[in-house]
């Protein structure tokens, strides 16, 4: 092996060694940043849960009125024939088939 080949292999080895070291350092930094981000995200979620609970207590009457207003009426079984015929929203109320 010539002297030039030995120098080339040495510098190639050093290049890859530095490159691997750089990637390992970036990976360690990423793990540290991700850990910090997860902790901060959990704190934010906890804070928002607390604020929502406080707002729920503060506006309890308004929420109850809103929930009651938006409740769907419970269907009391199938409608009778007279209800279906006289219903203005029914197709048969506007049908001229029976005339």
70-80 pLDDT, tens per residue? 776 666 667 77
Residues 6+ apart with CB under 8 A from 40: none
pLDDT at 88: 63
Contact (Cβ atoms closer than 8 angstroms) between residue 93 and residue 87: yes
The whole-model pTM stands at 0.48
Task: Summarize the confidence of residues 30-55 as an average pLDDT.
Answer: 97
48-97 pLDDT, tens per residue? 999 999 998 998 988 888 888 877 666 666 777 777 666 666 665 555 55
Integer Cα distance of 47 and 55 in angstroms:
12
Q: Looking up tokens 């929930």, which residue turns up?
A: 67
CB atoms within 10 A of CB 30: 10
pLDDT at 92: 53
């Amino acid at each position: 092996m010539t002297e030039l080949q030995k120098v080339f292999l040495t510098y190639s080895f050093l290049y890859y060694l530095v490159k691997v070291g750089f990637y390992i350092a970036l990976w360690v930094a990423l793990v540290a940043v991700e850990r910090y981000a997860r902790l901060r995200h959990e704190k934010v979620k906890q804070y928002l849960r607390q604020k929502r609970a406080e707002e729920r207590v503060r506006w309890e009457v308004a929420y109850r009125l809103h929930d009651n207003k938006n409740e769907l009426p419970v269907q009391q079984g199938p409608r009778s024939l007279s209800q279906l015929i006289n219903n203005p929203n029914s197709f048969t109320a506007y049908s001229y088939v029976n005339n």
